[in-house]
Structure formats: C-alpha cells, structure tokens
Copies of this chain bind each other. A is one copy, B any other.
Amino acid sequence: MNNKHIIIEEQGLRDGFQTLSKTILTQKKLDYIDQLVDAGVTRIQVASFVHPKLVPQMADAEELCNQLDKKENVIYSGLVLNLKGVERAIAAKLDHLSCSISASNTHSQKNARLTLSEAKLAFKKMVQLSKENHITVRGGIQCAFGCRYEGKIEESHVLDMVDHHLDSGINELALADSTGMGNPKQLRELMQKVVEKAGDIPVILHLHNTENKGYANLYAAIEAGVQIFDTAFGGLGGCPFIKNATGNIATEDSVHMIHQMGYETGIDINKIAKISRELETTLGHKLPGQMYQLIDNNDIKII
C-alpha cells in the first residue's frame, strides 16, 4: 500500500448503533450505508451476528445484508463472535467477516462465556469455516491494550495472541483498544512489533476515545506504520461504564487530522459530517465528534 494512504473502516452502523436506545430502522441504515459509500468510504462493518436479545439493534442483520446495494470496491463486513454467527453471515452472503476474541480472560468469560483457551480454539474454527466458504477473514483481538476487569494486558500476551491469530490463517489482523485504556507510547511500541510480525497481512487498529486518548493513539499508530483504522461517524459508540460517554474515534475528526498530516483517505468529511448532523437531529442530542459541528459553520476557516 502507498505509505501516504490510510484506509478507514466505518463502524458507526455496528459499534455505533449497538449502544443506542433508539431503534434505527433497516431502511435508514441502508440509507446511511449509501451515504457513506458516496462519501468515499470503502470498508463498512454493516452489522454483527450476535444474539438479538443481547443486542436488539442488530436483530435485522440478515434483512440488512439481503437488501444491500453492493458496490464494487467496497467491503461490506460483519462482526461474528462464534460459529453460529459465521453460519448466519454465510447465509446472509457476506464475503468479509471480522472474527474476534478478547485478550482478557475475565472479559472473555463474562462476554463470551469462554475461557481464553476455549476462545482461541473457537476462533480457529470460525476462521476455518469462513475460509471454507471463501470469506475474507479479519481476525480481531479485543481489549488488546487494557481491560476494565483485569487492568493492564501484558504486551507479551498480546503478541502471543497475534501469533495465534496469524497461525490461524486470517487475511487481516485487527487489534482493538475496546476500552480506550491504551496510551500512545505503549501503542506505538506494540503496534510497531505487530506490523513487523504481520508482514504482508494488513494490520487494522480499532480505537475508542473513552479516556480522551483516541486521537493521540491514532497519531501514534500511524507513526508505527498502521494504515487501516476503524472509526465511527460522529464518534458514536458507547462505553458501558459511562452514560453517554464518548465512543469510537469519529470518522470525520480522524480523517480531518489524517488529511492535515499529509495522508489521503479518499473520504469527503463534509459528507460524513452531514450524516452525523442528521443523526444528531434524529437522536436529539449532540454526538461526541467535534468536526461535524464546526463544518456546519460557514463563518470560520478550517484548514
């Protein structure tokens, strides 16, 4: 990849919407997806295949996937956390999946009801089934930089999990700072090692701004050679421990900073900001992103 190019995977539809109490209708989701593609986004995580009782906002995953107006050169991906999810995604005809497990044993037991060893075994089976069905697999590690139950996650442990994932035959590797606990120094050092280990396998980073370090971590990871990032328009995506907390790093804020630093993404932040403003109106409260509010103001200069 051209080293001045950064790719954005939009997570608003999944990591963003899953925390909203207001239901977003399938038709509205499809409309947002079209707007994102029109804005130049080339990777979109459209849904997760999880239990509808646990995440009601994702109950329409199949319906959404069946109605997708798929464009060439755009990756429409789904999140799966177990074999059942992979089976559902295959039936929904997705050809790109994010299979993900946690680096934290406690988090894995609480969220997936699996010990870390069990989760690693389950992960291999998810990858195998996906690949048998010609699906491109993004293999993810949640809580790679810290866990709200366990605290610090040791670097050596994360690197072991990276080896495990790479051995599983994944096509892409993703690390997630699910809790926003990572700091730029730690992240830069760790991601340099991960990028080196991964070799030709693209490395993706998923960042949350929960502790206001999300954009510092984005900068640090770019310096470490990471070229693909998950973001969510408006900075959607919550934290179960703070009501209305800031969520994922915002697509428009991230892209704005990335462009300012001389990289290109192919994304028009004005069009992303328009989606965020529309959602702000729908939800009736401000979103954590800053740029969508500034872009709406014609009296000021933005550089």
Give residues in A with beta carbon < 8 Å to B.
146-152, 181, 183-186, 209-213, 215-216, 218-220, 235, 241-242, 244-246, 249-250, 253, 256-257, 260-262, 286, 289-291, 293-294, 297, 299-303
Contacts and interface: CB of A to CB of B under 8 A. Distances in A.
Nearest to A258: B183
A292 to B, nearest CB: 10
The 8 closest A-B pairs by CB, nearest first: A183-B260, A151-B301, A185-B261, A212-B253, A148-B300, A216-B216, A216-B219, A215-B216
Highest count of chain B CB atoms <10 Å: which of A149, A215, A245, A303:
A303
Highest count of chain B CB atoms <10 Å: which of A256, A261, A290:
A290
Task: Give the number of times this chain occurs in the complex, counting copies.
Answer: 2
A73 to B, nearest CB: 29
Contacts of A218: 216
Given A184-B261, A213-B257, A242-B293, 7 more contacts: A183-B261, A184-B219, A184-B257, A186-B260, A211-B256, A212-B249, A244-B286
A13 to B, nearest CB: 21
Contact of A147 (B184, B241, B301): B301
Nearest to A239: B294
User: A interface, by DSSP: helix, strand, loop or mixed?
Assistant: loop
A229 to B, nearest CB: 13
A208 B243 CA distance: 24
B219 A303 contact: no
A202 B291 CA distance: 33
A294 B149 contact: no
Contact of A215 (B215, B290, B293, B300): B215
Contact of A242 (B150, B186, B235, B294): B294
Given A151-B303, A261-B185, A303-B151, A297 B241 contact: yes
A303 B152 contact: yes
A301 B212 contact: no
A223 B250 CA distance: 24
